[in-house]
Chain A
Amino acid sequence: MNTKNLIMEVKDFDFTYAGVDDPSLKQINLPIEKNKITAMIGPSGCGKSTLLRAMNRIHDLYPGNKYGGEINLYRENGEKENILNLKKENDLIRLRQDVGMIFQKPTPFPMSIYDNVAYGMKLAGVKNKSELEGRVEKALKDAAIWKETKDRLNSSALGLSGGQQQRLCIARAVALKPDVMLFDEPTSALDPISTGAIEELLAELKKDVSVVIVTHNMQQASRLSDYTAFMYLGDLIEYDTTDTIFMNPNVKLTEDYITGRFG
């Protein structure tokens, strides 16, 4: 496969949760194209969130999980780095600055809107106040939430609505200028209008970052994504362009799932 346009590549990847004998993910191979949206679909428990959470090594928060295979991150200069080889905390921190993550439930920190967005940058060592202010404003604009927040930057982020909180979390991640952003069912806790706003935002974001999104909503995957991966019981069943997966899938199982025959 041509790896020129890839930002990440999952290769023969296995994952086993702590205290479990059988791997939850088996021999996964999945390319992540640069500046595209890749959707992962599949019934609950198929391992799509597990795979997503391996891509920024957030699994490492809990001890005893085992990785196998490779997940390569392609750098600007064409160098590739297997993120599963990272061991030191500092390297993992650097990885997470390059690979951001948005969760199902909005996770604003108990601090002001401004501080929420500035927090990641402060962690990354940005100290200059005017640079911080500029980047906070840009991030909030990029996440399409500047208008609603510009007059209340110093009030608590917990006072925002769920949809606004989720966009704030996206702003927070965007502020770090990541290469990849991972979305773990980002709209399943939101109402349709907020969902629409986030979807628009994602389509906008892919100019600057590559997006991987886990979703239970098949319409969302078909509307939004360029590529789709269908997973089932820890296996990656099929990966192709979204059009192919939804119009003309190669595997019977994929078709059954998409047409709602199971799942």
Chain B
Amino acid sequence: MNRLLLNKIILVLSTLSAIIGIGFLFWILITLSYKGISALHLSTFTNDLVEGGIRNLLVGQFTMALMASAIAVPIGMFAGIWLREYSNNSKLASVIRNLSDIMMSAPSIVIGVFVFALFVAPFGSYNGFAGIIALTIMMIPIIISTTDNMLSLVPKELREAGIALGGSKHKIIMQIVVKAAKVGITTGVLLSFARIIGETAPLLFTSANNQFFTMDLTGQFPSLTVSIYNLATYPDEASRELAWAASFVLTAIVLLINLTGRYMTRNKK
């Protein structure tokens, strides 16, 4: 009797907790959709911030995130490959692996401050490059860890089979091992992209924001997330509505990338 009662209590508790957890998620999503969609117009996508739209913000955010990925993905992947395939699990490797894991959980505002001190303060102006550097720093450890983990799932027999067939180490790694881990690594890249595209803190005082459309990375650069942060604090109704619309669009983008990543993992073979 006691045992059955305990079972029931645990069941009720865990069900409740699950409902509360998921409840918040749906609350956010529903509020966002409700407020966001009603504030969304076609002109939201065709106008720049100065005219009450988010066109330049979207372009700016994607430009910075894509350029950060272009730097972080190769660096992170090769670092991950070195860690798993070349380091022979030396002391140095475990130090780097730990440091990289710590970097992954570093508060993003700290990274923002760091980049501000190095790439903003000396030049006397916020600039897009600084934003890209901050995002790159955020992304590299995630890519390292994904690559490292995904490569560790490739059985060592596959490497040995490649070597036994007369392959050199680098050929087997690049042509077989990485290929075998391709789906996992691609998913990791997508998920880390989804992570940095929604970041505000690293951009807040690196690239800051720009109301106008620009591709000039040496000056203040338009950002969707920083705009949301700013707009939400403005007193006028129109700004706050735009903040809702922008938040909705951002969430939709992040969700879409995440789902794509998950879909890929599920269908891997």
Contacts and interface: CB of A to CB of B under 8 A. Distances in A.
Contact of B161 (A62, A97, A123, A169): A169
A260 interface: no
B154 to A, nearest CB: 9
Given A96-B163, A124-B166, A109 B176 contact: yes
B23 interface: no
Interface in A148-163: 156, 158
B163 A103 contact: no
A47 interface: no
A93 interface: yes
Main secondary structure, interface of B, reads helix
A128 B244 CA distance: 61
A113 B68 CA distance: 38
20 contacts: A58-B164, A61-B159, A93-B166, A93-B168, A96-B164, A100-B164, A101-B161, A101-B164, A103-B157, A107-B158, A109-B162, A109-B179, A119-B165, A119-B175, A120-B165, A123-B166, A124-B166, A158-B269, A173-B164, A173-B165
A164 interface: no
Nearest to A99: B164
Given A63-B88, A123-B171, A158-B269, A107 B166 contact: no
Interface of A: 56, 58, 61-63, 89, 93-94, 96-97, 100-101, 103-105, 107, 109-111, 119-120, 123-124, 156, 158, 169, 172-173, 176
Given A63-B88, A107-B157, A172 B165 contact: yes
B167 A123 contact: yes
A184 B249 CA distance: 56
B161 A103 contact: yes
Nearest to B163: A61
A105 B167 contact: no
A107 B159 CA distance: 9
A93 B176 CA distance: 17
Contact of B165 (A61, A96, A104, A110): A96
A100 B165 contact: yes
Given A101-B161, A123-B168, 19 more contacts: A89-B168, A93-B167, A94-B166, A96-B163, A96-B164, A100-B164, A103-B157, A107-B155, A107-B157, A107-B161, A109-B158, A109-B176, A109-B179, A110-B179, A111-B179, A120-B166, A120-B167, A123-B167, A123-B171
A56 B164 CA distance: 7
Interface of B: 88, 155, 157-169, 171, 175-176, 179-180, 182, 269
A96 B176 CA distance: 17
A192 to B, nearest CB: 23
Contacts of A101: 160-161, 164
A106 to B, nearest CB: 9
B159 A105 contact: no
Contacts of B167: 93, 120, 123
Contacts of B160: 58, 61, 101, 103, 107
Contacts of A176: 165-166
A49 to B, nearest CB: 12
Contacts of B159: 61
A105 B157 contact: yes
A96 B155 contact: no
B177 to A, nearest CB: 9
Contacts of A156: 269
A58 to B, nearest CB: 6
B130 to A, nearest CB: 40
Nearest to A89: B168
Nearest to B164: A101
Contacts of B162: 109
